Amino acid sequence: MNLSFLINPFTARLFFFPPFLNSPNSLSLPLKTLGFLRCTRTMSAAPVHVKDRIDLSDKEKKIFDLLLNSLRHSNLDTQLRVAGGWVRDKLLGKDCYDIDIAVDNMMGREFCEKVNEYLSHAGEQMHGISVIQSNPDQSKHLETARMHLFDTWIDFVNLRSETYAENSRIPTMKFGTAEEDAYRRDLTLNSMFYNINTDSVEDLTGRGVADLKSGVIVTPLPPKATFLDDPLRVLRAIRFGARFGFVLDEELKKAAADEEVKAALANKISRERIGHEIDLMVSGNRPVNAMNFICELQLFWVVFSLPQNSEPAVVEGCDRQCVAYMNAAWDVLQQVGCSIFSAEQCRLYLYGALFIPLRQTVYSDSKGKKARILIFSAHHLDPLAFLYEARRLYSGCYVHMSKSFSHYFDLQIPVVSNIFLNSLKLKTKDAETVISLHSACERFVSLIPFMTSSEDSVVVSAELEEENFDVSLPLRRRIWTGLLLRQLKDFWRVALLMSTLLSTNNDHTEEFLRDLSKLEEKRDTFIRVENSIIELDLDNVWKVKPLLDGKAIMNVLQLKSGGRQVGEWQQKVVKWQLAHPTGTAEDCIDWIKQSQSKRAKLE
């Protein structure tokens, strides 16, 4: 994915979110503190340059010539029109490789068969035809045929007109005219056609070009009816508004916030389709704009739905806090620069920032199922057993539980996990990574002062004391940091940057609340800690293999089988290796023997 959209800072905001909500306890902020976060002004769209005609690339000419030759070969009077986003993007002077062709007098599959007939007649290789069936229950009304022509996937659909039976939102679809089809499109900027037969743009609603030039997101038909036809269009309107920096039409905003429309979005559209739209927004060029729209239209909890038994209960204003964190995260990212992050890291960083206010909110599984991603608390557990199992299983903020150990814990599931897996139907790995980042952020908050000053850390001292490591402060720093980075791997910079949004200060003073706006300070903190980690030679520490594996440790300890003791020593070996970066396997073996000898004398 091209990351050029992240290089130039995005400064325009649809409404003012003062970026200063970074308290770990910010969910409890009084509403009078949050009241000013509401939209206080309307942003007018800037004029947009729109081309007078569409210029075809060489590949597009080849594709369209093939389709026209297929028409002539079969003596068809069919009109072929490229629909939707391709027309919009070409008029804006942008490349687009997503070509959807509307056929006026047959199904898309039938026309694809005509294309293959022509290819066979011309002695060319025929192409496979895949058909995606319609699914009206999920507002997928059109059967789509797909072919791969000149290394480009082309979708073919028929022009449509729809009628609705009384008390039903499932339409009866029939062939329609190009004008009827245009008015059934989601937005006027997506309603234009490029007629391949006549090499001309058709703006059959009479508004497509004008709205594109004005930079306004408008529906061809009344917006509420348009959204009830396919509620996903609400999110598409938001995504396109954010992507192009356009404003939303006032009637459109009113319809999008309508309770009937929100209920239809929540209940009629599959969570996979919702998650896909949200993912496109977060991965897009103006993710904060998109989340601002969602928040303004009171759709945040419709999209990012939470279980009913969440604890602590989410308070009013939490959605605005979430967007404020993403806003700050985006701005800090511009300060640091994006070249050090992959597209996937940027994406999960923004998700993680968005859900910072929810990172400590959990819920219980009402069905009693074992969750894969869990926060746990120990009850009636032997301290040594808990220490061993926590170290063995605990990674960031999630645990892979085994049946044999599950009875030790009161299991609770992070709501962030529920958002990823149920509300958005995204990958389990995404949920695991973001939850791990949230946990690592808290640990980095403790690490940052330790990395940037000469003061000792009580947390780190306690961590090292139990291992009887007699090492200097710099080596303690190296051990603690190395353990954290071994868990995060190449996401450690993401966690570090996200941690700059947090604060250890729980005082909700105005000065504290404005901390998020100190972008240069956060950038400098990130750079200082990053440089310290590089100086400690830990920036790729997770790639370093332990000097001794479990079998070698068993030989040193003269054990016949593995178990808890071997696992504990494996952790100790990693720490010893971090404290002795130039040590050898023989040195480590000597240290184990000496430690065992000291323990035997004490016993």
DSSP for 334-372 reads HHH-STTS-HHHHHHHHHHHHTGGGTT-EE--TT-PPPS
Residue 17, pLDDT > 60, answer no
Q: How many CB atoms lie within 10 A of CB 104?
A: 17
**Residue 367, token pair as written in the block:** 């069905």
pLDDT at site 78: 95
Residue 203, pLDDT > 90, answer yes
Q: Are strands 152-158 and 99-103 parallel, antiparallel or unpaired?
A: parallel
- Tokens 């998020």 correspond to 516
Residue 225 inside a domain? The answer is no
pLDDT at site 499: 95
Of 197, 214, 231, the last residue of a domain is 214
Of 196, 214, 232, the last residue of a domain is 214
Residue 163 inside a domain? The answer is yes
Helices (H), 74-173: 85-91, 108-121
Ramachandran angles phi, psi of 197, nearest 5°: -65, -40
Residue 235, pLDDT > 70, answer yes
pLDDT confidence band for 524 (50 / 70 / 90): very high
**Residue 214, token pair as written in the block:** 């004005």
pLDDT tens digits along 104-132: 999 999 999 999 999 999 999 999 999 98
Chain-centroid distance of CA 581 in Å reads: 37
pLDDT at site 495: 97
Residue 528, pLDDT > 90, answer yes
Euclidean distance between CA atoms 406 and 413, whole angstroms = 14
Of all residues in the chain, what percent carry a pLDDT higher than 90?
Answer: 61
Residue 339, pLDDT > 80, answer yes
Residue 223, pLDDT > 50, answer yes
Q: Between these two residues, 178 and 25, which has the higher pLDDT value?
A: 178
Of 164, 187, 214, the last residue of a domain is 214
CB-based burial, 227-241: b 16+ in 10 Å, e otherwise: bbbbbbbbbbbbbbb
Residue 313, pLDDT > 70, answer yes
Mean pLDDT of 301-320: 90
Q: Which CATH number fits the domain that encloses residue 207? A: 3.30.460.10
pLDDT tens digits along 369-393: 444 444 443 333 343 344 434 433 3
Mean pLDDT of 414-429: 96
Mean pLDDT of 448-470: 57
pLDDT at site 212: 96
Euclidean distance between CA atoms 452 and 500, whole angstroms = 13
pLDDT at site 603: 58
CB-based burial, 117-133: b 16+ in 10 Å, e otherwise: ebbeeeeeeeeebeeee
Chain-centroid distance of CA 416 in Å reads: 12
Mean pLDDT of 547-568: 86
Q: Spell out the residues 6+ positions from residue 41 whose beta carbon is closer than 8 angstroms to its own.
A: 15, 16
Residue 9 inside a domain? The answer is no
Residue 64 inside a domain? The answer is yes
Residue 2, pLDDT > 90, answer no
Q: Which region among 280-294, 323-337, 438-452, 571-585 has the lowest average model confidence (pLDDT)?
A: 438-452
Residue 335, pLDDT > 50, answer yes
The total number of structural domains in the chain stands at 2
Q: What is the mean pLDDT of the chain?
A: 81
Sign of CA dihedral 171, 177, 180, 183: positive
DSSP for residue 422: I
pLDDT at site 345: 97
Euclidean distance between CA atoms 62 and 236, whole angstroms = 31
Residue 295, pLDDT > 80, answer yes
Ramachandran angles phi, psi of 157, nearest 5°: -135, 165
pLDDT confidence band for 280 (50 / 70 / 90): very high
Residue 172 pairs in a beta bridge with: 163
Euclidean distance between CA atoms 461 and 9, whole angstroms = 41
CB-based burial, 393-413: b 16+ in 10 Å, e otherwise: bbbbbbbebeeeeeebbebbb
Q: 139 is in which domain, residue-wise?
A: 47-214
pLDDT at site 482: 94
Which H or E run includes 132? strand 130-132
Residue 201 pairs in a beta bridge with: 194
pLDDT at site 30: 35
Q: Report how many helices (DSSP H) and strands (DSSP E) the chain contains, helices first.
A: 26, 14
Euclidean distance between CA atoms 36 and 16, whole angstroms = 8
pTM to 2 decimals? Answer: 0.80
Residue 145: which of 101, 98, 211 has the closest Cα?
101
pLDDT tens digits along 163-175: 655 444 556 667 7
pLDDT at site 146: 95
Angle subtended at Cα 259 by Cα 257 and Cα 265, rounded to the nearest 5 degrees: 80
10 class by beta-carbon count within 10 Å (0-12 exposed, 13-18 middle, 19+ buried): middle
Q: Between these two residues, 19 and 534, which has the higher pLDDT value?
A: 534
Residue 158 inside a domain? The answer is yes
- Tokens 């000065």 correspond to 511
Residue 91 inside a domain? The answer is yes
Whole-angstrom CA distances from 414 to 148, 392, 478, 567 are: 43, 20, 31, 28
Residue 572 inside a domain? The answer is yes
Most confident of 310-314, 420-424, 590-594: 420-424
- Tokens 């999209």 correspond to 303
pLDDT at site 408: 46
pLDDT tens digits along 426-440: 999 999 999 999 999
Residue 275 inside a domain? The answer is no
Cβ atoms of residues 74 and 117 within 8 Å: yes
Q: Please provide the DSSP assignment of 10-56 as one string.
A: ----SS---S----TTGGG--HHHHGGGS--S-PPPPP----SSPPP
